[in-house]
Amino acid sequence: MSKRDYYEVLGLSKGASADEIKKGYRQKAKELHPDRNTDNPKAESQFKEVGEAYEILKSADKKAAYDRYGHAAFEGGMGGGGRPSGGGQGDFGSAFSDIFDDLFGNMGGARGGGGQSRASRGNDLRYNLRVTLEEAYAGLQKTVTVPTAVGCGSCKGTGAEGGSEPQTCPTCSGMGKVRAQQGFFTVERTCPTCNGMGQTIKNPCHECRGAGRVEKEKSLSVNIPAGVETGTRIRLAGEGEAGMRGGPTGDLYIFLEVRDHDLFEREVNNLFCRVPVSMATAALGGDIEVPTIDGGRSRVKIPAGSQSGRQMRLRAKGMPALRGGGPGDMFIEMAVETPVNLTGKQRELLREFEDLASDNNPQSSNFFKSVKSFWESMKG
């Protein structure tokens, strides 16, 4: 089957300008890219056909030969300098790399003009900060000291000594990357001479040794909002490491950890406090005083006959909500305490009480009834 006219392949008319050829190629390559046409079995061959046409027409010499002789110019015997490498298939890898940059970006500007600055963004930093539960409840301002990299004051971040300017890297012409052809593919690697910076420094700054930044500790004031919990992350934009050669600064992330508390246990925004209650108070009822996270006190009424594990709620006495909404609640859990180190008189009174209280312990009565029933069933 005869080849289609290269101008027709790109949707152009003969005599199209270099800009029109480039524009037509990009449009057709995007339209026919296999990744965008998974349901079209011919997409790959059509995409290659577009690359072959562009490889010929983008070169002024090859285009002139094609305009004069058509496809015959590249089928042997027509001389010349117009014959493409690859036996008529064109340098598809080179053409593909052009559209790859257009589709997916230019790899950080590697295809930009020579000599452009290769300043790189500084790294983000992480700082782990521990706070107490009381601090998490109230919120606070905290000063932290962070080891980081800051812009060099001696060279003003350029990395070059005495106001001199970095030079365009001779290996990559300022692109920061070098390319090598491997079959149909163009492999792009970081330039080994400038390590991707696109520039070299003949006279490095004596203080930063050409990096454009120096190591230094920095003190920062951090606002910790009320209601934070373990895992909360606070971002301080522009407080990370300074970029290389005057590049933008990274960010600082504060990761919070709330310490365990001796009295309160936290569950989201609710607090739990286990409070010991005497046997007499649990049996007869009464009032007890409990602490709250804000440093205050609350009186709680204990109903007569309360058992261990019983909970009572103090509304809105928990932690504040970090992202709006009302505060949580505080739950008081009773722990009925058995007295120890009894005197003789106390033992005598308890035995007398035990003899009189056989009908006042419903849980014990029900339990032993179930035990008796279990044993009788086992005998049967």
Q: Which residues are annotated as a binding site for Zn(2+)?
A: 152, 155, 169, 172, 191, 194, 205, 208
Q: What SS3 class is residue 359?
A: coil
d(CA 230, CA 359): 49
Reference 264, options 319, 312, 301, 225; nearest CA is 319
Question: Count of CB atoms within 10 A of residue 262's CB?
Answer: 5
Q: Which residues are annotated as a binding site?
A: 152, 155, 169, 172, 191, 194, 205, 208
Query: What is the Cα Rg of the chain in Å?
Result: 40
| Residue tagged 């029109």 (tokens) | 20
Reference 242, options 116, 144, 125, 107; nearest CA is 125
Q: How many degrees, rounded to 5, is the angle at CA 229 between CA 225 and CA 233?
A: 70
Cα dist from 39 to 25, 32, 43, 51, 310, whole Å = 22, 11, 9, 20, 66
